[in-house]
Structure 1
Amino acid sequence: MIKMNWIMLIFTALAECHDQKGGVLSCPALCSCSSGAGVVCSQSSLIHFPVDGLPPYTTRLSIQSTKLSNVTASHLSAVPLLNNLQLYHNNLSSLPSDLLKDVPHLNTLDLTGNQLVHLPPNIFSHGSLHSLVLKNNLLEKADAEWFPDNSSLTWLDLSGNRLTSVPSALLHKLTNLEALDLSDNQLQDLQPDALKNLHRLESLNLAGNKLTSLQPTIFTHNLKLSQLFLQENQLRDLPATLLQGLQHLELLLLNQNQLQNFPTGLLDDRKSSFQIILRGNPWVCDEMMEYLWKWLTVHPQNVHFLEEVTCAGPEALKRRQVGSLTGSDLGLKVSDKEVA
């Protein structure tokens, strides 16, 4: 591997030197090129992949906001040293299964904002991808066969698609994953063992889906989790043990759900730096609110938009700030002194 890296560096240096001595920097029409091996093509009139004039030592290629509708392995073979490929906001509706076979050093692939509906098996089995962005496409199904076993991916963004589920078999292959974004899809639930192999996961975004509940042990194996985004779902209640063992959790977003109260113990043992957002839930301010009310009273500095955590019921307490209530407001048989 070290020898190969040296060969790449030497080849790149020689190619750049040759261009500079010739006085002409090779560059495709409708694109701009830098001497640092970067090429950017962002003209809306671009229709075809810009093979002609593409410097062979190119390591970064960005084709964005064009009418490009087709890209093949043959196209990419013109830039064998490519490690960063951005193909966002184009007209791509499909990709060939061998797309990446001639770019073995590709590290980052961004396909945001295309028209992709279906991807073939093994599409991401080639190369050494670490970052894959498929945001804002039309994908209705995620296929485990996209990836090899023990994929090298550390970042996967599938947000803004039409996914109703994500198979456990797909996630089980992504053992190196550190960030997973599944937001703004149509997920209704997660399989109980879906996240069990993601021991390195630090950020999980499930916002903007249709989740109504979560399994008590869904995050049991994600002990490095530091950011958890669950806002804008339809969660009605949370298991008391949901966050158990997540000692590194720094940020939890639960706003815009259907939560009425918290189970006792849910937020116990949080770090002093822990932050949470709770607004936009129909909190019912009765005796079942005791745990969350006490936690808010003791930890107001850990809650963003605390003044917007208000009661939806009963009628007498509507729109009252939860943090401003007393034990008697909640119907509790405790004195304010005991709460303090």
Structure 2
Amino acid sequence: MLFLPSSMSPILLLLFFLLFASSKGQTPCSGAGTHDCPKPGEDVYTKTRDITEIPKTPDPSITKMFFIQTSLTEIPAGAFQSRPNLVTLEFIDNKIRTVEAGAFDGLEKLEEMEMSGAQLGSLPVDTFRDLPRLKKLNLKNSQITWLEKGLFDHLGNLEEMYLHMNRIPSLPDGVFDELPKLSSLHLADNRISRILRDTFRPLTQLKTLRLQKNQLSSLSEGSLDSQHSLTELNLASNKIRTLPPHLLRNLSNLEKLFLEKNQINFLPNVMFFGLRKLKQLNLASNQLKVLPAQMFGELPQLSDLDLSKNWISSVEGLVPSSLPRMATLKLNQNRLENIPEGLFDNFENLTSVYLGGNPWRCDCHLHAFLQWVRGHPKKVKDASKVMCASPDDLSGKAIGFLTEEQLICLTTRPPSTIMGTT
């Protein structure tokens, strides 16, 4: 119940009741989706507010437009000339097959554009010709099969580009030449099999380069020489067998390097030299057999090293003095039979180690390792999987439950020779 002062004038009383009645009639927006309740300045079209063509009604108050699961199939030239103040423009999971040259002409204030989940195939060279302030362009999962040279030539202020989850087979020479401010480039999950030496040369400000899930067999020496600012490089899930010795020589700011799920069977000794800021290195699921001495050079910041699921039988390349901050080390599912005595003791910051799935030889040479496992139960994260493979009487037994008396080396005396006389 509403109580009002008796001294209120009739006019004020009438205005108060009108405002009160108006507020009671308003229903708060309760949509579950991100764009179900548009904010001031937003124009949103969805499958429940469907359209088949871009609205042409002028509205300078609109700064953001969203097209989500509509029936749009094409974006004609000049489609947004009636919305010159747009800052954000997104097309998500529409049926767009055609984008004409000049489709976004007049959007000089546009900073972010997304066109994902489309059926594009390719885009004409002048698609983005009039977007001088564009900073972020997302074209992921749009069935793109080809990038025309010159497609991005007018995007001098672009900082982020997302081209992942498409069907791009190669990158034309010079396709990124006019993107001096690009800092993030996402090309994952395409069909790229080869990258030319100078493809990334103009991208001197690049910080993130993602090329995972492609069909690369290698990269050319010098192809990353211009990426002095790079902090993340992802080459996982390709077909790489080996890499040039000095591929990473200029990446002094690199912090994350992903090389897992390739076919790498050899890495040059100098491969990681100079990566003094590297914190995470993933080499899992390759075909590495040995880790040569000094393979990792000096990596003072490396804290996470994944060498799991390889064919490694020796870890001589793991030099604690070169890896002083090592915290997580994964050596599980390799071919290790033993560990050099005192190796883990010298990794002073080690908190997590994975050792399961190796064919451990449980004999007298494993005493030091057994003592370390027992003394650091919280560090061995997969202790129940660290089992003996030999000798036969210990096969399948968890090493942590063995006694030192069980770790023996059998010696066989050579058969005596009986000297005959004549």
Shared fold by TM > 0.5? Answer: yes
Tell me the SS of whatever aligns to 1:177.
coil
Q: What does the per-residue CA deviation read over 1:46-80, in whole Å, with 9 as the maximum and x for residues that have no partner?
A: 32339479632111111010101122343211533
Matched, 1:212 2:250: no
Q: CA contact under 8 A between 1:115 and 1:137: conserved in structure 2?
A: yes
Q: Say whether residues 1:328 and 2:356 are aligned partners.
A: no
Contact kept, 8 Å, 2:277 with 2:301, in 1: the verdict is no
Amino acid at match of 2:99: V
Matched, 1:309 2:332: yes
Q: After TM superposition, give the deviation of residue 141 of structure 1 in Å.
A: 1.0
How many angstroms apart in 2 are the aligned matches of 1:132 and 1:312? 41
1:241-252 mapped onto 2 (5 Å cutoff):
241-252=270-281
2:203 is aligned, of 174, 193, 201, to: 174
Match of 2:129 among 94, 101, 110: 101
Any stretches of 5+ residues in structure 2 without a counterpart? 1-39, 51-58, 338-354, 373-422
Shift of 1:336: 4.9
Q: Is the 8 A contact 1:203 1:226 kept in 2?
A: yes
Task: Map residues 1-340 of structure 1 onto 2, 5 A cutoff.
Answer: 27=43, 29-30=45-46, 37-49=63-75, 51=79, 55-127=83-155, 128-148=157-177, 151-271=180-300, 274-284=303-313, 288-292=314-318, 295=320, 302-304=327-329, 306=330, 309-312=332-335, 319-320=357-358, 328=365, 336=368
* Ranges of 4+ aligned residues in structure 1 off by more than 6 Å: 324-327
- How far apart, CA to CA, are the structure 2 residues paired with 1:265 and 1:86? 46
The alpha carbon displacement at 1:129 in A equals 1.3
Answer yes or no: is the 8 Å Cα contact 2:136–2:161 preserved in 1: yes
Cα gap change, 1:301/1:111 in structure 2, threshold over 3 Å: closer, same or farther? same
How many residue pairs match? The answer is 301
Deviation at 1:44, TM superposition (A): 4.0
TM-score by length of 1: 0.78
In structure 2, relative to structure 1, the CA distance for the partners of 1:318 and 1:175 (3 Å cut) is closer
Identity of aligned residues (%): 25
Residues 150 and 175 in structure 1, CA contact (< 8 A), matched pair in contact too: no
Q: Is the CA contact 1:57–1:79 (under 8 Å) kept in the aligned structure 2?
A: yes
Assess if the C-alpha contact under 8 Å between 2:138 and 2:161 holds in 1: yes
Distance change (3 Å), C-alpha of 1:141 and 1:168: same
Query: In 2, Cα distance between the equivalents of 1:147 and 1:291?
Result: 38
Return the structure number with greater helix share. Answer: 1
Q: 2:159 & 2:201 partners in 1: Cα distance?
A: 16
**Displacement, 1:40?**
1.4
- Name the amino acid aligned to 1:66: N
Q: For residues 325 and 335 of structure 2, what CA distance do their matches in structure 1 show?
A: 20
Deviations 1:280-332 (A, max 9, x none): 11222xxx43334x659x9796225x3x6244367xx993377x989936xxx
Gaps of at least 5 residues in structure 1 are 1-23, 330-334
1:73–1:102 CA contact under 8 A, matched in 2: no
The question of whether the paired residues in 1 share the 8 Å contact of 2:241 and 2:265 is answered with yes
Return the letter of the residue paired with 1:118.
Answer: W
Residue 240 of structure 1, CA deviation: 1.6
Secondary structure class of the residue paired with 2:209: strand
Amino acid at match of 2:275: L
The aligned amino acid for 2:241 is T
Contact 2:232 2:254 in 1 (8 A): yes
CA contact (8 A) 1:327 1:336 kept: no
User: TM-score scaled by structure 2?
Assistant: 0.63
What is the CA-CA distance between 1:29 and the residue it aligns to?
5.0
- Pick 1 or 2: higher relative contact order, CA cutoff 8 A, min separation 6: 1
**Deviation per residue, 1:113-136 (Å, 9 max, x gap):** 011111211111112211111101
Coordinate RMSD, CA, aligned: 3.4
Work out which of the two has the higher radius of gyration on C-alpha atoms and give 1 or 2: 2
Distance 1:83 1:311, change over 3 A: closer
Contact 2:102 2:126 in 1 (8 A): no
